[in-house]
């Protein structure tokens, strides 16, 4: 029996986001390539040292990336689409960053299509960026590989070998991490519908074999090969591809493969995984602890088992004794065991020690990347030498956990009592939509095809500077408030001038649509340095939901009141929905997510009711992130959708029928979940449609979506100003597909990332387009 510790990947951004600073300085031309490469080398060396200092046995390399590890893989295997090839050498940073971010060579054009509404690269581009999408069910985004029917592959970069050598020169014998060929192909897209990317496997495998051969020659003995697609619903063809791929890769001499699976259970792919001729298998025992028995029952007895027992993508201390209880027998039965995080620590913040402002009680419940490494070390000692070797560590850990369980912060009696009172009628409006809309129309008295926006207006440098100055204490509360009031008043006057029908206050006071609410709710904590990479140089600092959630006082009513006082037109109340708050936060792991979501839903419901009482006739509850919470396995979708929809409805259903509830979603794939979108029963929904014209409305048409709908006619992800005829055409098309009296006119997302100089002409055109469409459809 041997027990070692292993890590699957360490965050590359640096404890103080050094990678962001360096890459953005390079993009802006402030530092040269040599300086960027130096910064990257320093980050890698720091990470290796940190992991060695934590006592880690198996330290990863090639987990570093300048932008994204999937993009690295695409470039490495030579899958570089033709449009980029003229930009530079295939292994150049120029070409790499062009694939990542696009490249502007002249006039401003539309940007490449990419999913989600946060993906805004700012400027227009002649060469578009590759498409980007979410990495499994994380908030990390990868660049989607692109392949063609005549795709040729060749080993184009030697980054895994180079980084292995670089680590060795610093005294670290590392285990290189590479993304496996089958997952890479399953993530790849082809413009050619007839091409199944998996059919390219035979052409791709020689590149992987060559890479492994070169790693072996460089002195690597193990390679971690990530195949997270093994936790997805797979076709038989995909399973066959796994068998074919690994039979081939097993032929490479002198290198052992640790096949890494994570983000869920192997489930019906378990037999496939266990049949592969690899030397080791990593399984996620945080998401799927139950799979250990089946793995032990089916695994070859010389298989090295990497047990992912420490949560790699959340922020809580592990229950170390419980882990020892569960896995002691695995080690004692003679298995070769590695103790590891469930997945790469890429998805966790780096170091809790940087947090100086967290409530010490809450801080004691947390473990970030560095602390998770320490947990691995304790677990290894506990397994290898017995609990006596780690008595003090186990006692301290048990103390923190007991404190967390008993704390009043995690057990707010009033919140819990209230939840038990929630009955079915809390999630139902009083009357059906047909009756509600009649009452709402009578009160609102809007024209057909009413115009509005999604909520935010440009967060100009002045707005951001004022906020930063206020945060630093350089601008006092009153002066900051006055500044925000002037911005808001100006935005409202301008909306009136151009003739929008339903106004917004502009959200100038909000730093972020989730943080703004989290900061005002009980049960949330905010880190100072808890950054996690979202895509490229963009990092987010998700709130930490540690306790029972409640709303001590109204959060938005004063701003709404101020704004409505400046105009006679309806001013929308503007809220973030419970599911989106949940999905963009680190969520407590001591109760089901759905329970936490219902607590948030009640807090938002209270806010909705207060807005109504203050006089708001329209209240928008954004659920930007509802779709991204979908589980990886289709069998789990309905359960999620049911509680997500119920939470939204709890937040929306406390108002009278004449109060109009809007929701907003910034994505476009509705086909699979349209039933649940319908079940949300929002009076009005605004959605993203402008980039694929009105095709996305098909789902709503097929479903016979009865409520009102605002298909985005202005693509806010691009600085391009859409013309009047273009938007009028879209509206007429939408009016023909649906019924004109269902239609609203709006951009496809909030405008905070745009500049006023693009927004102003675009919205003026949008109002004109609405007029044109009204007469065309009349
Ligand atoms: N109301 C928010 C805004 O306009 C919605 C943003 C979003 O959908 N991501 O900014
Ligand atoms: Zn949006």
Mean predicted confidence (pLDDT) in 469-484: 97
Mean predicted confidence (pLDDT) in 679-693: 86
- Contact partners, residue 346, CB within 8 Å, separation at least 6: 9, 10, 11, 12, 63, 140, 312, 532, 533
Residue 375's CB is within 10 A of a number of other CB atoms, namely: 23
Atom of ligand 1 nearest to the CA of 749: 8
What distance in angstroms lies between residue 135's CA and the mean position of ligand 1's atoms?
A: 22
In the DSSP assignment, the letter for residue 113 is P
**Residue ranges per structural domain of the chain:** 414-777
Q: Which ligand is the nearest neighbour of the Cα of 453? A: 1
pLDDT at 200 over 60: yes
What distance in angstroms lies between residue 65's CA and the mean position of ligand 1's atoms?
A: 30
* pTM, full prediction: 0.95
pLDDT at 117 over 50: no
Alpha carbons 685 and 692: distance in angstroms, whole number: 18
- Contact partners, residue 734, CB within 8 Å, separation at least 6: 689, 694, 697, 711, 743
Burial of residue 666 (CB within 10 Å: 0-12, 13-18, 19+) is: buried
Atom of ligand 1 nearest to the CA of 574: 1
Name the residue with the closest Cα to ligand 1, atom 5: 750
Mean predicted confidence (pLDDT) in 620-641: 96
Mean predicted confidence (pLDDT) in 542-556: 98
Nearest to 215 by CA among 242, 255, 179: 255
pLDDT at 123 over 50: no
In the DSSP assignment, the letter for residue 672 is G
Atom of ligand 1 nearest to the CA of 624: 8
Tell me which of 517, 664, 667, 682 to substitute to probe ligand 1's pocket, judged by most ligand atoms within 8 Å of the beta carbon. 664
Cβ of residue 664 lying under 6 Å from some atom of ligand 1: yes
Alpha carbons 531 and 16: distance in angstroms, whole number: 8
Q: Which ligand is the nearest neighbour of the Cα of 459? A: 1
Residue 648's CB is within 10 A of a number of other CB atoms, namely: 28
Contact 623, 670 (CB under 8 A): no
Cβ of residue 777 lying under 6 Å from some atom of ligand 1: no
Contact 563, 571 (CB under 8 A): yes
Atom of ligand 1 nearest to the CA of 752: 10
- Token duo for residue 223: 């390679």
Interval 137-165: pLDDT, tens:
999 999 999 999 999 999 999 999 999 99
- Token duo for residue 476: 């006092």
- Token duo for residue 68: 């994204």
- Token duo for residue 563: 């704004």
Contact 522, 547 (CB under 8 A): yes
Residue 175 φ then ψ, to 5°? -110, 105
Interval 513-529: pLDDT, tens:
999 999 999 999 999 99
Contact 260, 178 (CB under 8 A): no
Q: Residue 694: its pLDDT value, please?
A: 66
- Contact partners, residue 767, CB within 8 Å, separation at least 6: 451, 498, 499, 500
Residue 319 φ then ψ, to 5°? -90, 95
Tell me which of 118, 139, 455 to substitute to probe ligand 1's pocket, judged by most ligand atoms within 8 Å of the beta carbon. 455
Alpha carbons 362 and 550: distance in angstroms, whole number: 17
Q: Which helix (H) or strand (E) holds 282?
A: strand 280-284
| Pairing mode, strands 132-134 and 141-143 | antiparallel
Interval 736-748: pLDDT, tens:
999 999 999 999 9
Cβ of residue 454 lying under 6 Å from some atom of ligand 1: yes
Rg (CA), the chain: 27
What distance in angstroms lies between residue 747's CA and the mean position of ligand 1's atoms?
A: 11
pLDDT at 41 over 90: yes
What distance in angstroms lies between residue 117's CA and the mean position of ligand 2's atoms?
A: 5
Confidence of residue 125 (pLDDT cuts 50, 70, 90): low
Alpha carbons 184 and 149: distance in angstroms, whole number: 16
141 is catalytic: no
Cβ of residue 506 lying under 6 Å from some atom of ligand 1: no
Nearest to 526 by CA among 708, 669, 363, 714: 363
Cβ of residue 117 lying under 6 Å from some atom of ligand 1: yes
Interval 702-744: pLDDT, tens:
999 999 999 999 989 888 899 999 999 999 999 999 999 999 9
Interval 300-316: pLDDT, tens:
999 999 999 999 999 99
Name the residue with the closest Cα to ligand 1, atom 10: 750
Cβ of residue 666 lying under 6 Å from some atom of ligand 1: yes
Tell me which of 454, 502, 689, 754 to substitute to probe ligand 1's pocket, judged by most ligand atoms within 8 Å of the beta carbon. 454
pLDDT at 335 over 70: yes
Q: Does the domain made of 414-777 have the CATH classification 3.20.20.210?
A: yes
Q: What are the angstrom distances between the C-alpha of 381 and each of 10, 87, 285, 293, 671?
A: 22, 52, 19, 23, 51
Confidence of residue 394 (pLDDT cuts 50, 70, 90): very high
Q: Which ligand is the nearest neighbour of the Cα of 749? A: 2
Contact 625, 580 (CB under 8 A): yes
Residue 353 zone, left/alpha/beta (φ > 0; ψ -120 to 50; rest): alpha
Name the residue with the closest Cα to ligand 1, atom 6: 750
Cβ of residue 752 lying under 6 Å from some atom of ligand 1: yes
Name the residue with the closest Cα to ligand 1, atom 4: 750
Contact 314, 263 (CB under 8 A): no
What distance in angstroms lies between residue 577's CA and the mean position of ligand 2's atoms?
A: 12
């Amino acid at each position: 029996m041997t027990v070692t510790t292993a890590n699957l990947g360490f965050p590359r951004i640096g404890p103080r986001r050094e990678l962001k600073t360096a890459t953005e300085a390079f993009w802006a031309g402030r530092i040269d390539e040599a300086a960027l490469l130096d910064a990257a080398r320093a980050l890698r060396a720091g990470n290796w040292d940190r992991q060695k200092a934590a006592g880690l046995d198996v330290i990863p390399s090639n987990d570093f990336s300048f932008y994204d590890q999937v993009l690295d893989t695409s470039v490495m295997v030579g899958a570089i689409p033709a449009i980029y090839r003229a930009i530079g050498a295939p292994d150049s940073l120029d070409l790499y960053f062009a694939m990542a971010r696009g490249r502007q060579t002249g006039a401003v054009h539309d940007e490449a299509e990419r999913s989600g509404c946060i993906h805004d690269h700012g400027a227009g581009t002649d060469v578009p960026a590759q498409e980007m999408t979410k990495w499994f069910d994380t908030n990390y985004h990868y660049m989607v590989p692109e392949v063609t029917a005549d795709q040729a592959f060749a080993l184009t970069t030697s980054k895994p070998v180079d980084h292995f050598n670089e680590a060795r020169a610093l005294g670290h014998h590392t285990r290189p991490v590479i993304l496996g060929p089958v997952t890479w192909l399953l993530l790849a897209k082809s413009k050619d519908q007839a091409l199944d990317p998996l059919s390219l496997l035979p052409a791709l495998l020689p590149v992987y074999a060559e890479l492994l051969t070169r790693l072996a020659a460089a002195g690597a003995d193990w390679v971690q090969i990530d195949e997270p697609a093994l936790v997805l619903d797979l076709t038989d063809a995909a399973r066959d591809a796994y068998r074919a791929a690994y039979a081939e890769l097993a032929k490479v001499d002198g290198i052992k493969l640790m096949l890494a699976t994570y983000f869920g259970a192997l489930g019906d792919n378990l037999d496939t995984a266990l049949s592969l001729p690899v030397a080791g298998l990593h399984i996620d025992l945080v998401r799927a602890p139950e799979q250990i028995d089946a793995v032990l029952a089916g695994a070859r007895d010389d298989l090295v088992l990497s047990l992912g027992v420490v949560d790699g993508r959340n922020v809580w201390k592990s229950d170390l004794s419980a882990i020892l209880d569960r896995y002691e027998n695995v080690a004692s039965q003679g298995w070769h065991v590695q103790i590891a995080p469930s997945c790469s620590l890429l998805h966790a913040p780096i170091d809790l020690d940087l947090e100086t402002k967290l409530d010490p009680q809450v801080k004691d419940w947390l473990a970030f990347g560095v602390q998770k490494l320490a947990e691995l070390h304790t677990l290894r000692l506990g397994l290898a030498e017995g609990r006596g070797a780690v008595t003090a560590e186990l006692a301290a850990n048990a103390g923190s956990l007991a404190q967390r369980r008993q704390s009043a912060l995690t057990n707010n009696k009033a919140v819990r009592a209230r939840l038990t009172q929630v009955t079915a009628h809390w999630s139902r409006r009083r009357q059906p939509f047909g009756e509600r809309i009649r009452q709402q129309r009578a009160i609102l008295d809007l024209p057909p095809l009413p115009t509005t926006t999604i909520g935010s207006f440009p967060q100009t440098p002045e707005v951001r500077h004022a906020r930063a100055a206020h945060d630093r204490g350089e601008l006092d509360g009153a002066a900051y408030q006055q500044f925000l009031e002037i911005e808001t008043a100006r935005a409202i006057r301008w909306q009136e001038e151009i003739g929008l029908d339903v106004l917004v206050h502009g959200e100038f006071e909000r730093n972020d649509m989730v943080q703004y609410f989290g900061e005002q709710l009980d049960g949330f904590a905010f880190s100072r340095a808890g950054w996690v990479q979202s895509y490229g140089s963009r990092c987010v600092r998700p709130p930490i939901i540690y306790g029972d959630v409640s709303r001590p006082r109204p959060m938005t009513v004063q701003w709404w009141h101020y704004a409505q006082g400046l105009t006679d037109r309806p001013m929308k109340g503007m809220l973030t929905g419970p599911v989106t708050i949940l999905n963009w936060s680190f969520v407590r792991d001591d109760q089901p997510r759905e329970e936490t979501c219902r607590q948030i839903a009640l807090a938002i419901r209270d806010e909705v009711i207060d807005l109504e009482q203050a006089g708001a006739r329209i209240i928008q509850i954004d659920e930007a992130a509802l779709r991204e919470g979908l589980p990886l396995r289709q069998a789990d979708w309905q359960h999620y959708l049911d509680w997500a929809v119920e939470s939204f409805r709890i937040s929306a259903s406390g108002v009278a029928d004449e109060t109009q509830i809007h929701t907003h979603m910034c994505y476009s794939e509705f086909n699979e979940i349209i039933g649940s979108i319908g079940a949300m029963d929002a009076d009005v929904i605004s959605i993203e449609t402008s980039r694929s014209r009105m095709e996305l409305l098909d789902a709503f048409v097929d479903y016979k979506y009865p409520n009102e709908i605002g298909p985005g006619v202005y693509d806010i992800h691009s600085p391009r100003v859409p013309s009047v005829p273009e938007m009028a055409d879209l509206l007429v098309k939408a009016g023909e597909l649906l019924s004109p009296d269902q239609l609203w006119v709006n951009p496809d997302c909030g405008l905070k990332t745009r500049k006023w100089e693009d927004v102003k002409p675009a919205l003026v055109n949008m109002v004109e387009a609405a007029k044109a469409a009204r007469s065309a459809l009349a």
